[in-house]
Amino acid sequence: MVKNVGTNFRKPTIYTAEEFSELMNTNFDSAFHLCQLAHPLLKASEQGSIVFISSMASLVSLGTGSPYAARKAAINHLTKNLACEWAKDNIRINCVARGTTRTPIVEHRL
C-alpha cells in the first residue's frame, strides 16, 4: 500500500482553524486511519508493505509552512512506530521523504 496524498497552503504560518484541520486530516489522519483499515489485509498476506510519502520539509526548514512540516514529521514518526509494532505481523513500513533537486533542466524550465 502506498499512501501518497497531501495538501498544503503556501503562505505564512497564520492559518484558520479550518485550514489547520484540513492539513491535519489530509496529511496525517488519513494515513493513520488507512493503516488501521489495511492492517488485517496486510497481515493476512503475510508479506504486507506500506510506503508513506513524506517530505524533506519534515527534516529541514524549506519555507513550506510549519503546520505542513509538522504533519510530515508526524508521518515519519508514525512510520517508525508502526514498523516496530507491526514487524511481528510481517508488515514492512517505510517512508520516502521526497524533495526536489535543481538541475540545469529544472533551472531552464523555471
Mean pLDDT in residue range 46-52: 95
How many domains would you assign to the chain?
A: 1
Overall average pLDDT of the 44-69 stretch: 89
| Structural domain that includes position 41 | 2-109
Residue 81 near residue 75 (C-beta atoms within 8 A): no
Q: Among candidates 83, 73, 98, 110, which has minimal Cα distance to 4?
A: 98
Given the residues 6, 68, 71, 79, select the one marked as catalytic.
68
The pLDDT of residue 47 is above 80: yes
State yes or no: pLDDT of 108 exceeds 60: no
Predicted confidence at residue 107, as pLDDT, reads 56
| Mean pLDDT (the chain, rounded) | 88
Return the residue matching grid coordinates 540545469.
104
For residue 105, give the CATH number of its domain.
3.40.50.720
pLDDT for res 106: 59
Residue (of 49, 47, 51) closest to 95 by Cα position: 51
68 classed as catalytic = yes
